[in-house]
Amino acid sequence: MSVERFPHHLDARKSAGPTWELLAPFTYISRRYGTITVPAGFVTDLASIPRLARWYVSRDGDHTKPAVVHDWLYSRASIAGHPSITRADADRIFLEALKARGVRSGLATVMYWAVRLGGWSTFRND
């Protein structure tokens, strides 16, 4: 039996600048880490795609839901049973979630390496 990894609709509204606010809790069920719930009120920029890469990848698409979970994990989150989520953990969850959403393998890998190489500056610094 297949488990829906993203059982809820992503309900968010545009707020200031490039940011969006979640209007309802949003859940991802990770194979490795279990249930991750992003609370209502969390503010995200969806996918942080560098301007030079936007011709290839937009800010939204199949990668939007994984990006919201990744933003939450980078901001301050802990997961039940995993109280100390590292940046590497967050990035692995992002890759897993991208694949769960059906993002092409090559694009998922590029997005994963982009956060591995460039995410250090935003991890828990918001």
- Single pTM value for the model: 0.81
* 8 Å CB contact between 91 and 119: yes
CA distance 49 to 54: 6
44 C-beta neighbours (distance < 10 Å), count = 25
What is the phi/psi pair of residue 24, to 5°?
Answer: -145, 155
Residue 55 scores a pLDDT above 60:
no
* 8 Å CB contact between 97 and 111: no
* 8 Å CB contact between 5 and 63: no
The more confidently predicted of residues 54 and 61 is 61
Residue with tokens 């939007």: 64
Characterise 11 by phi-psi region: left (phi > 0), alpha (psi -120 to 50), beta (else): beta
CA distance 40 to 82: 21
- In this prediction, residue 115 carries a pLDDT of 82
β-strands 12-14, 20-22: how paired?
A: antiparallel
Which residues, 6+ apart, have CB-to-CB distance to 121 below 8 Å? Answer: none
CA distance 31 to 66: 14
**pLDDT tens profile 80-102:** 566 678 889 999 999 999 999 99
Q: What is the mean pLDDT of residues 57-79?
A: 77
